Chains A and B, each alone.
Chain A
Amino acid sequence: MTVRAGLLLRVALGAALAALLGAGAGAQTPGQDEMNVVDQPGYQPTPEEEQLSGAYEKQEVFFRTTEAPGTIIIDTKGRFLYLVQGNNRALRYGIGVGRDGFTWSGLQKIARKQEWPDWRPPPEMIERQPYLPRFMAGGPGNPLGARAMYLGATVYRIHGTNQPQTIGHAVSSGCFRLVNDDVIDLYDRVPVGTKVIIRQAVAL
């Protein structure tokens, strides 16, 4: 068994973060596509791996909403993040979301933005993977990817990933992950203060 395959088989992430859920958290629903995947710190995907296709590829779509252009709407069930453009249009990005028990809903604002964020594995991850460094400086291969946008005062973020295969699945501790090209694109489009609406499902 390769190291990578071994990593993928290991159980990932703990439950303590759920207790830290920020204001506005709502009902939880079971994940439809849970992926039992562990973080792979330092792993650098190939450009081919990072190239999404089909529904999860970034694209402009029809999107009917009363929210103002520039608003982010996250559909946790559909695994999409919409950036409202106006005129019933939105940019749609494929995302990975929280595993069963970690999906949440609410209203937040982007409180801070960070290029190449550092990564600190949560305590329960250190317990499961004691060989992990307690801090990993930001850069290629970092599990948080190329950019992070912090949601209000919560511990949650919209961030990149070094695991593009997790897009479309429920894997994280409640954060929302995009492939690095997409998170860089989104990061450049939205300022601090951007309204972020997290919903279990979005009606178009």
Chain B
Amino acid sequence: MIARRGAALALVGLLSAFVAGCGETPPPTPAIVAPAISTDQLVGKWGFAAYHKDTDRARTAKEAAAQCNRPYVINKGPTGGLMMNLADQKELSELILKAGPDGQTYLGPPGPPGGADDRIVSNVDANSFTTVWVDPDNASRYGTSVYVRCGRR
């Protein structure tokens, strides 16, 4: 009986040490998740329009399609990213797609997803996609951007 109690105490001590040790181990490295969207899906010539009210979305998409006479061109960058403008920047930057912990896909300069220069990419299909800036000021000024492919696939 005494021997059984001693064994139980030893087991508790061992477990305590293990639990204490767990509290001191570094947090696990977050798994790098590939974005749900590929770079190639966004390369091309796009009609580009924006709206602020959801009720304007449908007609804005039509207007975007009508803007292919002055398209927004997205090419692949030298390191495989996407050459696009940041907000209010005339020069192109190479941007990458990033999977966010919230399940959203971000597009922006290299760095953690959800940065101030990022935009959220959504509603992606072969012929269109939508973006909204993460930065509240940019989001307020530019609203929701709709890109419609010129020369549908």
List residues of chain A with CB under 8 Å of any chain B CB.
Answer: 3, 6-7, 40-44, 118, 123, 126, 128-131, 133-141
Contacts and interface: CB of A to CB of B under 8 A. Distances in A.
B95 to A, nearest CB: 12
B70 A126 contact: yes
A3 B141 CA distance: 11
Interface of B: 47-53, 56, 59-60, 63-64, 66-67, 70, 72, 85-90, 137-138, 140-143, 145
Given A135-B64, A137-B56, A43 B141 contact: yes
Contact of B86 (A43, A129, A131): A131
A10 to B, nearest CB: 8
Given A42-B143, A43-B141, A131 B88 contact: yes
A130 B87 CA distance: 10
A37 to B, nearest CB: 14
Given A42-B142, A126-B70, A134-B49, 14 more contacts: A3-B87, A123-B70, A130-B72, A131-B85, A131-B86, A131-B88, A133-B48, A134-B67, A135-B50, A135-B60, A137-B49, A137-B51, A137-B53, A137-B59
Q: Which 7 A-B pairs have the closest CB atoms?
A: A42-B141, A131-B85, A135-B49, A134-B67, A133-B50, A137-B56, A137-B51
Contacts of B89: 131
Nearest to A126: B70
B120 to A, nearest CB: 16
Contact of A131 (B49, B53, B66, B87): B87
Chain B CB within 10 Å, residue with most, of A135, A138, A140 = A135
14 contacts: A7-B88, A40-B141, A42-B140, A42-B143, A43-B141, A131-B86, A134-B64, A134-B67, A135-B48, A137-B51, A137-B52, A137-B59, A138-B56, A141-B141
A133 B49 contact: yes
A7 B89 CA distance: 10
A3 B49 contact: no
A198 B132 CA distance: 41
Most interface-central of A134, A138, A139 (chain B CB within 10 A): A134
Contacts of A40: 141
A118 B67 CA distance: 14
Given A136-B51, A137-B59, A41 B90 contact: no
Contact of B137 (A3, A126, A140): A3
Nearest to A133: B50
Contacts of B137: 3
Contacts of B88: 3, 6-7, 129, 131
Contacts of B138: 3
A118 B64 CA distance: 13
A1 to B, nearest CB: 11
B135 to A, nearest CB: 9
A140 B140 CA distance: 10
A7 B138 CA distance: 13
A137 B60 CA distance: 7
A139 to B, nearest CB: 5
Nearest to A119: B50
Contacts of A44: 140
A41 B140 CA distance: 10
Given A42-B52, A123-B70, A130-B90, A135 B142 contact: no
